[in-house]
Structure 1
Amino acid sequence: MSIRKEILSRAYITFYVLVLVSVVIMGQVIKIDTVERAYWIQRGEDYSIRKQNVEAQRGNIYADDGSLLATSIPYFDIRIDFGSEAMRDEYFNQHVDSLSIYLQRDIWPKRSVAQIKQKLVRARKDRVRSFLIARNADFTVVEKVKKYPLLSLGGYKGGLVLERKSSRLKPYGNLASRSIGRMAGDRKPLGLEMYYDDLLGGKDGLRYVQRIARGIDIPIHDLTEIDAQEGHDLQTSINVNLQDIAEYSLRQVLTEHEAEWGTAIVMEVKSGHVKAIANLGQTASGGYYENLNYGVGRLYELGSTFKLATMLALFEDQDLELDDPVSLGPGYMRVGSGIIRDSEGHPFDTTTIEHNFAISSNVGMAKLAIKYFRSDDGPDRFFKYMKQFHLKSKTGIEIPGEPEPDIYSKEERKNIPGKKGTWSSVMSIPYMAHGYELRTTPLQILAFYNAVANDGYYVPPRLGEKVMKSGSLVRMIHPNMKSVRIASESSIKKAQHLLKEVVLNGTGKNLISPDYSVAGKTGTTRINYADKDAKRKKYIASFVGYFPTDQPKYSCIVVVNDPKKHAYYGSKIAAPVFKEIVDYCYATDPNLMKVLNDKPMLASAQIQLPVYEVGYSKDFETVFGYLGLKTRKSTESEWTVILQDSTDFTLAPRAVREKAIPNVVGMGLRDALYLLENLDVRVVVQGTGKVTRQSIEPGSPINNKKIFLTLG
């Protein structure tokens, strides 16, 4: 073969080989770009360096006394990066034996030290980047692991990788659970957690991580990070003990009468701060659970509790006097196609406005409304006053989901789906006057009664009180909350007198007590009156009022829906819950207690008695019984706070929750040790006498096994 042909043949062979290689490469490129595209994209994501958000520590929610209502508990996945470039074989070989011993003692007790060492050596040999030590470990375990041989060298040399997570804990369980709420990610967010999310949530940080296996990232420490800023804390107005009493009393009544749901709310008159908000609904099994915030989110027909709004409107519009006459006739009257009846008979056909309100006559109220508000521009004036009383607007409470009040005029109903055509020029005003054909939430009508108690000044209900940071005050949430007068002074005085008369001589007589004074209004509402085929009548029982009557400190509402046994009147069902709450407030608040002896005592009669003691209930009962001293017990409780007025001692409850640090301040050392050591908490004591200070806040989760008590 000639040299020329040989060169050409080699060139052709080279050319064909290159063409074949090109075809193969192009085929692989097409295959990778089409058939295997998703696979290689996923591989790139799995082993790439990326930015990752670092979740900020969420702020705590506290009760009014600093007790924890909600807190974030950190937990960790603990891993070792045996592929870390800074981990030298000499470090590993020097510490592997002792590391195996520590891991066997604390983490893997069912494995032998030899087995653990074998796993560690194999992982080091294979340069395993994510060797799992423990999953969902708490802070105590993490602190131990950080001190282990090799791992104590840190993330570079020791290969320690901590993946931080957190869960939200409510130390008091379901207490005020719906109002405290839950944050985003815990199903549907709600309550204070949702409303104050920006404040509590803090600001997430940023770090760079490298994915070393599917779903496993490790931080790259030499790249820039932005530190997370922890959230602020929220101190609420909720009083834990008062909340407990409200829920307990409400549950007892709901269970006894087999009611569908109930709510009880307590507010401070001057500030509008909500001190307790209990909500319980019946479950399929017949028990009761806080499944909905009925106090804030449920509209209901008010019945007789709305009569105060009608009377206040009449006082503002016509300047009626309390002794003006009202005709009740035979106790019923026909209005259009309906009949308005009084719930109970009475032996008179004419009475005064004052007595008409006290006995809660539907007929008397309807006749007054027909006379002054049904004709001409009367309905317009009526709704003007409802707006003036803040009964046509939301309260603005910091719980998302509050509905608008259902109190609509003829013109407003024309533009509302489901309301068009429901106005009756004959029937609507007289029925609305005694609480039908309109709806509000329990909190909305309570805010109105609170304004009457507050001499006519309306303050919006509020749960948030302070923004805190590391125990220090950042700001007050509502520092200059303005109150607005809803009616003239003379009209308010008349309204206050009517509410007193209900308790003294009307439907609320069962609230009379020699120890305190209460003003309020009962309500009993038929809720299925439009159902002509109903097999049984359904009612809502309610009571709303305030105490003390002269200088009101608290307002309160109790609503019980559809009681099925024994009774259905507000005076028989809702009023007893109200009374339990009032009893507790008077028993535990010295400022409310009646002064029994304000005269100077003889020096010889000045006997030193315990004014404030905390301890075991049965011990106190034994001692006081032996000494023959009078005591009052506000509720059943294993632990008690002793409060003393001039002659009596009150045994008030000291709430102690499971799986939370109790409040032992004021206790003797024996009782404090009994409580804490039964929780496996190590106690360190300094000083003598009673406990004056404890190092861990009451209500905190039991993470720290040591607590310091100061006695004095």
Structure 2
Amino acid sequence: MAGIKESILVRIQTANLIITGIAVVIFLQILNIQFLQGEYWQSRADEMGLQYRTKKATRGTIYAENEIMLATSIPLYKVSLDPMIINSELYRTKIDTLTKLLSTFFKDKKPKEYLAKINEARRLKKRYIVLSPRPITFTERQALAQWPIFNDKQNKTGVLFEKVEERTYPFTGLAGRTIGFVNENNDGAGLEMSFHKALSGVNGKALYQKITGGDWKPVGTGTRINPINGNDIYTTIDINLQDIAQESLAEYMSKHSAKYGCVVVMEVKTGAIKAMVNLGLEKDEYKENYNYAIGDQGSIDPGSTFKTASMLAMLEDSTYSLQDTIDTGNGFYKYYDREMKDTKVGGWGKQTFQQALENSSNIAVSRFVTKHFGKKIDKYLEYLDKFGLNTDLEKSFRLSGMAKSYIKTPKDPTWSGVTLPWMSIGYELRLSP
């Protein structure tokens, strides 16, 4: 019994030694190829024109509400051929039919021109020629795959459908600047640029061989690192509201000969942006050429819309009630050497806190604010910060290109005694819509 155990142990130890020896040999060979023979094999690869090239990941889709596509990448295919692979008998009997089909389908060459091109490639022993003058769709690819030679199941057909992708925007002209773009230099705008990394995914690699004419031919299917496709982005844009908002803005701008304008439709309950339209005049036509809603060019004095923030700051910081009153006089009020004009000729007279906002009274709002915050301006500015009016919205809004707010402080060299009253009604500051 002891002899059997010893025999088994010897066999196991021998097997372990053999496996370890093989592993060491493989490891040493890897080191030899990588470090000692690395330059040699690299030069051999260069001689053969072999190179690992980027295999692009499929870019993610941008969706509107209800999963309606705003931007997506559609697969297209370049049709190429290795004419040397085709069986000689198959080539002899079917090539004429194939060239006629190519001519009818692409309409760029006569059948005899396609035949001459393929025959010349065979004569020169070329392993790769491009047949399609344009990329084809997936449906077209399925149709071409049924053609003679291309559909031969018993032999290698030589046909290669190389995938390329095209970014397409189903609602051309709608939300163009909001959706945005990314160019070849990785510059861009809108959602495409803001979420570029997430949409892009991770590119893979595939082995290609450079051939005559500078084209690159894929080599095999095992010599590749598959790409990881990009993530999809879901937005709150309502495409119907977007369409209505754009038509309304264009009509109003045309009526008033405006140079640019924007509309942002927000759902009050959730804060969700349902539409964002940006139109600028370009060669007598209104186009989405810049995002005025968030960008520097659209950053202006907010005017009366800012009165709401000023009055909210008052309510947050004081015991004022909606029925407290202030006198607006005859429609003019002087702050130092500068006179403020009210929104009604002859003035609003006495105004309650509520009426001041309802009537958008310049004098009432500015007097309420200067009376309460005149000696504690920093507190007023704190509330503006608290409301998010002076914060970096690019991080929270998540759309690149956000203009920075310009809200003065007493440290600003342009601050004066009239800054607070005019700021309270939306002037001497700049905000994007």
Give the secondary structure class of the aligned counterpart of 1:173: coil
Distance in 1, matches of 2:220 and 2:384, equals 63
Write out per-residue CA displacement over residues 289-338 of structure 1, whole angstroms, 9 at most, x where no aligned residue. Answer: 11111112232111111111111111222211122121112211222332
Give the aligned partner of residue 431 of structure 2.
Answer: 440
Corresponding letter in the other structure for 1:164? K
Deviation (angstroms), 1:47: 5.3
Distance in 2, matches of 1:202 and 1:119, equals 38
Deviation (angstroms), 1:109: 7.3
Distance in 1, matches of 2:163 and 2:231, equals 20
Residues 410 and 214 from structure 1, CA distance in 2 versus in 1: closer, same or farther, beyond 3 angstroms?
farther
Pairing 1:370–2:370 present: yes
Please give the residue correspondences for 1:227-246 in structure 2 after superposition, counting only pairs within 5 Å. Answer: 227-246=226-245
Distance in 2, matches of 1:187 and 1:224, equals 28
Note if contact 2:58-2:201 (Cα within 8 Å) is conserved in structure 1.
yes
Please give the residue correspondences for 1:215-614 in structure 2 after superposition, counting only pairs within 5 Å. Answer: 215-221=214-220, 223-283=222-282, 285-297=283-295, 298-346=298-346, 349-375=349-375, 378-395=376-393, 396-411=396-411, 413=412, 421-424=413-416, 426-442=417-433
Give the secondary structure class of the aligned counterpart of 2:399: coil
Unpaired runs of 5+ residues, structure 1, are: 1-43, 414-420, 443-712
Give the aligned partner of residue 80 of structure 1.
Answer: 81
Deviation (angstroms), 1:46: 8.7
Give the secondary structure class of the aligned counterpart of 1:295: coil
Give the aligned partner of residue 67 of structure 1.
Answer: 68
Corresponding letter in the other structure for 2:290? L
Distance in 1, matches of 2:56 and 2:108, equals 33
Distance in 1, matches of 2:63 and 2:202, equals 21
Corresponding letter in the other structure for 2:55? V
Kindly indicate whether structure 1 or structure 2 has the higher relative contact order, using CA contacts under 8 Å at least 6 residues apart: 2
Give the aligned partner of residue 588 of structure 1.
Answer: none
Give the aligned partner of residue 49 of structure 1.
Answer: 50
Give the aligned partner of residue 169 of structure 1.
Answer: 168
Distance in 2, matches of 1:432 and 1:381, equals 14
Distance in 1, matches of 2:183 and 2:123, equals 43
Write out per-residue CA displacement over residues 509-531 of structure 1, whole angstroms, 9 at most, x where no aligned residue. Answer: xxxxxxxxxxxxxxxxxxxxxxx
Distance in 1, matches of 2:321 and 2:245, equals 37
Note if contact 2:86-2:149 (Cα within 8 Å) is conserved in structure 1.
no
Deviation (angstroms), 1:108: 4.3
Note if contact 1:96-1:120 (Cα within 8 Å) is conserved in structure 2.
no
Give the secondary structure class of the aligned counterpart of 2:372: helix
Distance in 1, matches of 2:199 and 2:317, equals 47
Distance in 1, matches of 2:305 and 2:88, equals 80
Write out per-residue CA displacement over residues 167-210 of structure 1, whole angstroms, 9 at most, x where no aligned residue. Answer: 21111101011111113428732111122223222222211010
Deviation (angstroms), 1:163: 3.4
Distance in 2, matches of 1:372 and 1:361, equals 17
The structure whose residues are more often helix, as a share, is 2
Give the aligned partner of residue 145 of structure 1.
Answer: 144
Distance in 2, matches of 1:94 and 1:227, equals 38
Give the secondary structure class of the aligned counterpart of 1:243: helix
RMSD: 2.6
Note if contact 1:47-1:212 (Cα within 8 Å) is conserved in structure 2.
no
Unpaired runs of 5+ residues, structure 2, are: 1-44
Deviates more, 1:250-259 or 1:188-197: 188-197
Give the aligned partner of residue 16 of structure 2.
Answer: none
Corresponding letter in the other structure for 1:181? G
Distance in 1, matches of 2:156 and 2:93, equals 13
Distance in 2, matches of 1:95 and 1:81, equals 16
Distance in 2, matches of 1:334 and 1:402, equals 36
What is the number of equivalent residue pairs in this alignment? Answer: 387
Note if contact 2:205-2:224 (Cα within 8 Å) is conserved in structure 1.
yes
Note if contact 1:331-1:346 (Cα within 8 Å) is conserved in structure 2.
yes
Note if contact 2:63-2:70 (Cα within 8 Å) is conserved in structure 1.
yes
Corresponding letter in the other structure for 1:132? V
Distance in 1, matches of 2:419 and 2:237, equals 39
Q: Normalising to structure 2: TM-score of the pair?
A: 0.82
Q: Normalising to structure 1: TM-score of the pair?
A: 0.51
